[in-house]
Amino acid sequence: MKNFCLSLSVVLGLCFQSWAQDTIPLTFEEAVQFGIQQNITFKKLQNQQEVLRMERLNAQLSHLPNLNLSNDTYRQIGQQFQQAEGELIVTNEVNDIISGRVNSNMTVFNSFRVTNTRKAAKKFEEAGEFSLERAIQDLIFDIGSQYLQVLLDEQLYKIANENLLNQRKQLEQIEGYVEVGLRTLADFYNQKSEVARLETVALEAKIQWERDLWILAETIQLPSNTIPAVAPIMLEVRESELLKNPLDVLLQMAEDQRNDYRQVRSLELGNRSLLAAAKASYLPRLDAFFNYSTFYTTLDQRTFSNQFFTIFPQRAFGLSLSIPIFNNFSNKADVARSRMEWQNQQLDKMALQKKISQEVKLASENYKAAIQRKESTQVQLDAAEEAQNAISERFRLGISNFVDLAQANQQLVTAQSDFAQARFTLYFQEVMFKYALGILEL
């Protein structure tokens, strides 16, 4: 009785709190869309993808010449050196100077470093896109599993509540049987104890339902003090045609369709291109350059336009060849670092292949087992209903005792719960199977 009162107070507190909360009706599709829009991890991936896009654009444009414009304006106070008619004249002057420069550089050849860097940036952007697509599937899977759990909790609460109502009616009937002398007082108290136990069971089912609702609300990032009112879904699942395929075909399908595996492959190819780009530092580099500079000084009496645009402009252009001889092994360190990244990515790909193999095989076996379990629990439920009806009638006629009746009721409730769980498990295993294959969609 103490535990019952404690559970009752907890549930009443939850119910009172829920009255003060907002409720948002949501279908499964709306819950997923809301979760994608609000999920922090997904938003971070979108921000990262924008950086990868800009890095790819930067790598694509790196083969073009760069162009820089600079300007200096300053004053010199003190001795000024001027050369006039073969003599060097030193005077103490104030000299205002304005200078301007235009510089341009372009890589002519650097052992395909730019080309390989561009390939790597493109692969990294592709990997980011695959990561976003897999993140959407992850959200669909996580929200879907929690959504199904909420629906299952609701169904189990309904079963517990219906059983409680039936047992209360049974208690009233037994009380009437006791009054007319058809049943003993012990049967009445046994039934009364069973009703009290079922009240606790119903309360615990209610608490579990509330708890999973809050978990779902947190996952899809609903506003504070708001819980979802989930809409039911169709649980009729047909056996997928994909189950008829052999395991090797399913594994190949998963490697072709799963975005996390595509991401790892793109990262591997990108790091291989970066390794080739790093090796370019061993070879000579040829650059073309163009420099234009001019200035104006107040020591010259000629006009600004005449000095800046006519007299003092200088132009320089040519080629610059750089041959690496010894640079403290910095190029070797870059190559070793790039090789390490590439080899680690290969190891990640091998590990993911093993993981995919295990996940696909396990999901396939669990899917088949869920189909058999649903069929078995259907038979279990039909048999439990027939047994409960027969024993209830025998109990009414005084042939069966209370123990038989209580056992039949318990078996019926167990069968109802098992069948409900089997239906939701089958639906979830189909979702899990598609998720393992990488074909999960709304």
Would you say residue 12 has pLDDT above 80? Answer: no
The number of distinct structural domains making up the chain is: 2
Count of Cβ atoms closer than 10 Å to residue 31 Cβ: 26
In angstroms, rounded to a whole number, what is the distance separating the alpha carbons of residues 142 and 151? 14
Contact (Cβ atoms closer than 8 angstroms) between residue 56 and residue 125: yes
Average pLDDT over residues 41-61: 93
Please tell me whether residues 270 and 310 are part of one structural domain.
no
pLDDT of residue 406: 86
Over residues 1-6, mean pLDDT: 44
382 and 262 belong to one structural domain: yes
| Among 7-16, 79-88, 124-133, the range of highest mean pLDDT | 124-133
Task: Write the CB contacts of 289 (distance below 8 Å, at least 6 apart in sequence).
Answer: 103, 104, 105, 106, 316, 317, 318, 319, 320
Do 161 and 248 have their domain in common? yes
Q: What is the pLDDT of residues 340-399, one digit of tens each?
A: 999 999 999 999 999 999 999 999 999 999 999 999 999 999 999 999 899 888 887 878
Stretch 145-159: mean pLDDT, rounded? 95
Burial class (CB in 10 A: 0-12, 13-18, 19+), 168: middle
Which residues constitute the domain of residue 84?
68-109+286-323
pLDDT band for position 53 (cuts 50, 70, 90): very high
Tokens representing residue 269 in the block: 């190819």
C-alpha–C-alpha distance, residues 28 and 442, integer Å:
9
The answer to whether residue 62 sits within a structural domain is no
Q: Which of 275, 304, 323 is the last residue of a domain?
A: 323
Residue 299 phi, psi (nearest 5): -70, -20
Residue 55 lies in a domain: no
Q: Is residue 111 pLDDT above 50, yes or no?
A: yes
Confidence bin at 87 (pLDDT 50/70/90): low
The model's confidence at residue 10, banded by pLDDT at 50, 70 and 90, is: very low
CB burial of 364-386 (b: ≥16 within 10 Å; e: otherwise) equals: bebbeebbebbeebeebbeebee
With respect to residue 31, please indicate whether it lies within any of the assigned structural domains: yes
Residue 2: its pLDDT value, please? 43
Residue 116 forms part of a structural domain: yes
Of 323, 338, 371, which residue sits at a domain end? 323
Among 76-85, 147-156, 424-433, the range scoring the smallest mean pLDDT is 76-85
Checking DSSP bridges between strand 285-297 and strand 87-109, what pairing results, if any?
Answer: antiparallel
CATH number at residue 264: 1.20.1600.10
Q: What digits encode the pLDDT tens for the residues 256-287?
A: 999 999 999 999 999 999 999 999 999 999 99
| DSSP string covering 226-285 | EEEEEPP-----PPPGGGGS-HHHHHHHHHHH-HHHHHHHHHHHHHHHHHHHHHGGGS-E
Residues 172 and 301 in one domain: no
Mean local confidence (pLDDT), 198-204: 95
Quick: pLDDT tens for 220-230: 888 888 889 99
Please report, for residues 156, 160, 172, 195, the alpha-carbon distance to residue 201 in angstroms, rounded to integers and kept in the order given: 10, 7, 20, 10
Q: Of 8-22, 79-93, 260-274, where does mean pLDDT reach its minimum? A: 8-22
Query: Distance between terminal CA atoms of the chain?
Result: 47
Whether residues 158 and 278 fall in one domain: yes
pLDDT tens for 317-335 read 999 999 999 888 999 999 9
pLDDT confidence tier of residue 98, bands split at 50, 70 and 90 = very high
- What average pLDDT does this structure show over 95-99? 91
Say if 157 falls within a structural domain: yes
d(Cα 169, Cα 172) in Å, to the nearest integer? 5
Point out the least confidently predicted range of 1-15, 128-142, 243-257. Answer: 1-15
Query: Residues near 335 by Cβ (< 8 Å), separated by ≥ 6?
Result: 275, 278, 279, 281, 282
The per-residue pLDDT of the chain, averaged, comes to: 89
Beta strands in 14-159 (DSSP E): 22-26, 66-84, 87-109
SS3 185: helix
User: Do the domain assignments include residue 56?
Assistant: no
Report the predicted TM-score, pTM, of the whole model to 2 decimal places.
Answer: 0.81
- Mark whether 7 and 74 lie in a shared domain: no
- Greater confidence (237 vs 19) lies with 237
Which of the pair, 4 or 161, is modelled with greater confidence?
161
Give the dihedral of Cα atoms 322, 326, 327, 333; nearest 10 deg.
110
Confidence of residue 93 (pLDDT cuts 50, 70, 90): confident
